[in-house]
Amino acid sequence: MIDIQEIMSVLPHRYPFLLIDRVLATEETSITAIKNVTVNEPFFNGHFPGAPVMPGVLLVEAMAQAGGFLLLMDVEDRESKLIFFTGIDNCRFRRPVAPGDQLVFEVEIVQRRRTFAKLHGKALVDNEVVCEADLMSAMVERS
């Protein structure tokens, strides 16, 4: 398992936008990570008062962060790199995510070329798919 300190040593994201809490497993082309969703998340104040639902775009971002961790994990000079979205295809939201849910992200590299990658990600709660998408990314130099 990889804890939050090691995640922060690889990813540039910080509160309130770091959306993975722990990496459970990595393989050469796949990663499994988690996010514990609490009522204290800042987005619940406005999305929606009295009926908190995690915004779908943040589910996709969290999947992308897990994929970004996988892509950056073995890059020697990762402090000088960023992973940017270049596309999202076939995104589907299956059910709402609420406080108390534990999200499990399963992301795999479908195709990789030098600085570009295509990934397929799933977000699950209680072994039920709540979101899935094909994500495209590019690794760029930090300016």
Q: Which of 47, 81, 94, 122 is catalytic?
A: 47
Query: Catalytic: 120?
Result: no
Please name the fold of domain 4-141: Thiol Ester Dehydrase; Chain A (3.10.129)
Q: What is the 3-state secondary structure (H, E, C) of 44-106?
A: HHCCCCCCCCCCHHHHHHHHHHHHHHHHHCCCCCHHHEEEEEEEEEEEEECCCCCCCCEEEEE
pLDDT at position 9 over 90: yes
Annotated domain spans of the chain? 4-141
> Model confidence over 32-59: pLDDT tens digits?
999 999 999 999 999 999 999 999 999 9
pTM, 2 dp: 0.96
